[in-house]
Structure 1
């Protein structure tokens, strides 16, 4: 009887096709994570969330030559961009890296109350300091390329603002 059961099990097992499905247990690397996560995504905000999630699961491995450091002022001045605060409270835009030898890995963006300095000059009394918030953006912008970004910000709806790149980190 045990031989019959063993024969039956081996027969069924040998006749059953064995398929190798890579994503039975989820993606194996960053690229697979992006491909799986982007299925059906139709908005930039959702795509940004998939990107962040995949980076958390599969952080980029840096070689010793790619350890980020503060970018010198003259190189920071080569980083430009356009951005605005959306009605959903996200600061979104694109960054252009005009440096020939620096890859940008992190930016600190400064949002400041627009026109505060002019108001202070015209005021006859002491004014409170302007509203000012700094935000850190993890980004990977190789030389001479544009990248989009989007971060959630805490800024009063409709309040005018100015922004600048306060600090940049990267590697050569």
Structure 2
């Protein structure tokens, strides 16, 4: 039979181990990302991991209601972008963006048009800060950032693109 002191000591050790990540899994979003991203080489897999971790550890920040920016505000967003291939051969669209609005920009929907066939496909994406490490951020008013849209189907020889919708919020 264990003495009372040994039982208390054993209980304390078990409680301290359960508080650390790795033994019983991550305890917050950041630990989840670090734990699950090890060895990940694909943007598609990385995005799936981020979504799974956010679902497991929802943001504690107050949720802001995102609304579509008015058409007059879209004209104040300056962007130049292209379709690129990453080191794994996955196609993605990237654009440098300047937010000339009074809005915080969070999500975007773009259209990529194959100018040879006149077919268009729309894609959903997110804004990232210039200093971001691949995690989603809003681009604050009068700041620069980028748009990244993963999982493009093809890279047309001749194409054009435009913003269909931008979602954000005002302070």
TM-score by length of 1: 0.66
**How far apart are residue 98 of structure 1 and its match?**
1.4
Does residue 1:141 correspond to 2:142, yes or no? Answer: no
- Report the number of matched residues: 151
2:9 and 2:59 map into 1 onto residues whose CA distance is: 42
| Equivalent residue, structure 1, for 2:73 | 75
Secondary structure of the corresponding residue to residue 141 of structure 1 = coil
2:57 and 2:95 map into 1 onto residues whose CA distance is: 24
Shift of the 30–98 alpha-carbon distance from structure 1 to 2, 3 Å rule, reads same
CA contact (8 A) 1:48 1:149 kept: no
| Equivalent residue, structure 1, for 2:152 | 153
| Equivalent residue, structure 2, for 1:36 | 35
What are the ranges of 5 or more consecutive residues in structure 2 without an aligned counterpart?
128-136
| Equivalent residue, structure 2, for 1:106 | 107
Shift of the 169–15 alpha-carbon distance from structure 1 to 2, 3 Å rule, reads closer
Q: Give the structure with the larger helix fraction.
A: 1
1:58 and 1:79 map into 2 onto residues whose CA distance is: 34
Q: CA RMSD in A?
A: 3.1
**How far apart are residue 73 of structure 1 and its match?**
1.9
1:79 and 1:67 map into 2 onto residues whose CA distance is: 24
Shift of the 153–56 alpha-carbon distance from structure 1 to 2, 3 Å rule, reads farther
Moved over 6 A (4+): none
**How far apart are residue 159 of structure 1 and its match?**
4.2
Secondary structure of the corresponding residue to residue 165 of structure 1 = strand
1:78-119 CA distance string (max 9 Å, x none): 152423142734323244241352111211110111256xxx
Alignment of 1:1-172 (within 5 A): 5-7=1-3, 10=4, 12-14=6-8, 16=10, 18=13, 19-20=16-17, 21-23=19-21, 24-41=23-40, 47-60=46-59, 63=62, 66-77=64-75, 78-86=77-85, 88-114=89-115, 130-139=118-127, 140-143=137-140, 144-147=143-146, 149-155=148-154, 158-172=156-170
**How far apart are residue 29 of structure 1 and its match?**
2.5
TM-score by length of 2: 0.67
2:57 and 2:39 map into 1 onto residues whose CA distance is: 21
